[in-house]
Structure 1
Amino acid sequence: MLLTSVLFLFASAVKIVSGADWCYQSQVTCSNLTCSGPDLWGGISPPCDGRSQSPVNIVTRRLLIDERLSPFQFTGYQETFHGRLLNSGHSLQLDLPSSIQINGGNLATTYKAVQLHIHWGKDGSPGSEHTVDGEQFPMEMHIVHIKEEYDSLSQAVRDPSGVAVLGFLFEESSSANKKFDPLINALKSITQPTNITTLEGVFLDMLIPAQKNLTKYFRYDGSLTTPDCAEAVVWSLFTSTVQLSREQIAAFNELQFSDGKPMAKTYRPVQPLNGRQMYYSAGHAAVVSTVLLISSVLVSTVGALS
């Protein structure tokens, strides 16, 4: 009878854990059996144990320059829109109109925007998902796009290159970034999970570095960084960072997880590369500049000789 009871309790515990909701490591506690941290995500969604997972640590000395990684063409990034802003229980999410699109950058086709979300630490501490030479940044924003032919993210993830995510790392600045005020001011309206508000009169160019500074980026094939961790993402992580003050960065901790605790350290640990090659776009500009320089020298030389 005792053995039967023990087996029943064990089976119940396994059922609770295996059917648990996913969460970040900052939410995991010894007494919380309903929350599966990153190490257990594979039990919730098998792709999370795949070999092409994200995020990763970008080792700059191992990058290969890819001349095909041309500058992106951003469509609709300067157009004002009203977007639904919500507390998803894991992050904030801003839904984006499909009129916002990207192409270029050696993408196979045009991709349309779906949503953006942000990952952060605690009170300004490191919180980015990707790291560069082991350095973790305070925050990271992902603008998620899907191939124009698909109607939803759930459709797009069935395609190995169905999703294109633009990643932006944040750095702390001594002064506030006023362009982020509408978003930060709206946080107080979505402190609780499932809270929704409308972010009005904004455009994406407000939230990213100047487009002229977006010619340099890292590229690799990876996955979504939350379950179901689908390996369907073409990643582009820009070297030009977004600047926010410490107070602005800390404001994101006003949001709360479903357990009522401050939403903090909302990032997945870096994943193994497993032999994947990472690329850098700067070679495109460098090659063009070199060709122009050589052409200029040749023209000058010919002119001098004549």
Structure 2
Amino acid sequence: MQALISSVLLLASILKICTSSESDWCYQTQVECGSSSCKGPDVWHEVNEQCSKSRQSPINIVTKKTKLNHLLTPLKFTGYQEAFRSTLKNNGHSVTITVPHVATVSEGNLLNTYRAVQFHFHWGKDGGPGSEHTVDGEQYPMEMHIVHMRQDFKNLDAALGDPTGVAVLGFFYEESASSNRKYDGFIEALKNVVESGSNTTIDGISLSNLIPSEGNMTNYYRYSGSLTTPSCTEAVVWTVFENPIPLSHDQLSAFSKLKFHGGKSMVKTFRPVQPRKGRVVYRSGSSVLLASFTLLLLCVTSALGLSQFN
């Protein structure tokens, strides 16, 4: 009888684990006990119906199908160089940092100025594939999203009510042979936010230190999409930069030491790519190509003109 009672209690505890967070969204790596433990990406539409709409992110960027847009000039960054003090938090899905000062991005055919609100990361497992966007099917080890809201809105919730209310800058990472010293303080701080819900103060960082130099950010892709987690709101102007940021294997693996709510290793924190559904993905770089073409045309015209007098 005692053994039967123990078996019933064990079964009840398993069922409780498998159903306690049924209404919560999670990544595929968290899905346990069938589909009842939490709602993985395939059923995020059950958490919020917007996750099944037609302009969802991330996407696979097929370079040969992108369209050159000469209006996609280099972006203008203001306040990105300013060092700041903020809170690094493990929110159970990722690590996030709020940007406490005014830092904005504009130009590059952004029709408004956008103010940075926060940034966070998506990664794989121990440096394995983990970016959300892919390029020609290639998945990078990690991706950072710097979230901006249009500065004419009072808060992010209000901005999400407009199709162009939010601008997100996406940056890929690649594994390098040596450590990226600019990330040393940030990587060290991750040790203080291993558990879900934990946070720590981080000081002396700047957005410009975390991203490539402006000269390495002239090549990028632009398309209209959504948030990549529920509510999946389709209010995002996406800018995904081509040149990746280098981190060593150990630096990339440091993110995999974090934990989801419930204690499971926080790995493979990415949403699978979504159908493009006819959306055009634009690419920058036309200004350089246009200048080269113009120069070539002038040379040819000049040569033809000279030949007429010979």
Return the TM-score normalized by structure 2.
0.89
The offset of 1:302, in angstroms, is 9.3
Greater Cα shift, 263-272 or 280-289: 280-289
Q: 1:274: which partner in 2?
A: 277
Q: 1:46: which partner in 2?
A: 49
Structure 1 residue ranges (4+ consecutive) displaced by more than 6 angstroms after TM superposition: 296-303
Q: 1:234: which partner in 2?
A: 237
The offset of 1:284, in angstroms, is 2.4
Q: What residue ranges of structure 1 are gaps of 5+ in the alignment?
A: 1-11
Q: 1:211: which partner in 2?
A: 214
| Equivalent position amino acid for 1:177 in 2 | N
What are the Cα deviations for residues 176-214 of structure 1, in whole angstroms up to 9, with x where unaligned?
100011110000111111111111011111111111110
C-alpha contact (below 8 Å) 1:77/1:205 kept by paired residues? yes
| Equivalent position amino acid for 2:220 in 1 | Y
Match of 1:254 among 229, 242, 257: 257
* Identical-residue share of aligned pairs (%): 49
What are the Cα deviations for residues 90-142 of structure 1, in whole angstroms up to 9, with x where unaligned?
00001113411000110111000000000000011100000001110100000
Q: 1:72: which partner in 2?
A: 75
The offset of 1:159, in angstroms, is 0.3
Q: Does 1:198 align with 2:178?
A: no
Q: Does 1:160 align with 2:163?
A: yes
Match of 1:97 among 82, 100, 107: 100
Match of 2:186 among 178, 183, 186: 183
The offset of 1:292, in angstroms, is 4.7
C-alpha contact (below 8 Å) 2:84/2:101 kept by paired residues? no
Match of 1:134 among 131, 134, 137: 137
What are the Cα deviations for residues 45-73 of structure 1, in whole angstroms up to 9, with x where unaligned?
11001110000000011111011111100
Greater Cα shift, 166-175 or 151-160: 151-160
Q: 1:170: which partner in 2?
A: 173
Q: 1:9: which partner in 2?
A: none
The offset of 1:288, in angstroms, is 2.8
The offset of 1:286, in angstroms, is 1.5
The offset of 1:86, in angstroms, is 0.4
Greater Cα shift, 29-38 or 201-210: 29-38
* SS across alignment from 1:290: helix
C-alpha contact (below 8 Å) 1:98/1:112 kept by paired residues? no
Aligned equivalents of 1:17 and 1:54: distance in 2?
28
What are the Cα deviations for residues 15-38 of structure 1, in whole angstroms up to 9, with x where unaligned?
x69961110000001257241100
Q: Does 1:57 align with 2:48?
A: no
* SS across alignment from 2:203: strand
Are the structure 2 counterparts of residues 96 and 297 from structure 1 closer, same or farther at C-alpha, using a change threshold of 3 Å? farther
* SS across alignment from 2:109: coil
| Equivalent position amino acid for 1:262 in 2 | S
* SS across alignment from 2:260: coil
The offset of 1:296, in angstroms, is 7.2
* SS across alignment from 2:163: coil
C-alpha contact (below 8 Å) 2:22/2:36 kept by paired residues? no
| Count of residue correspondences | 292
C-alpha RMSD of the superposition? 2.3
Q: Aligned runs of 1:291-302 on 2, under 5 Å?
A: 291-292=294-295, 294=297
C-alpha contact (below 8 Å) 1:76/1:101 kept by paired residues? yes
Aligned equivalents of 2:93 and 2:77: distance in 1?
28
C-alpha contact (below 8 Å) 1:80/1:202 kept by paired residues? yes
Aligned equivalents of 1:71 and 1:78: distance in 2?
17
Aligned equivalents of 1:235 and 1:216: distance in 2?
14
Match of 2:148 among 145, 148, 167: 145
Q: 2:31: which partner in 1?
A: 28
What are the Cα deviations for residues 245-297 of structure 1, in whole angstroms up to 9, with x where unaligned?
00100000111000101110000000001111111012222113433555578
C-alpha contact (below 8 Å) 1:139/1:170 kept by paired residues? yes
* SS across alignment from 1:85: strand
Aligned equivalents of 1:75 and 1:298: distance in 2?
42
Aligned equivalents of 2:219 and 2:86: distance in 1?
28
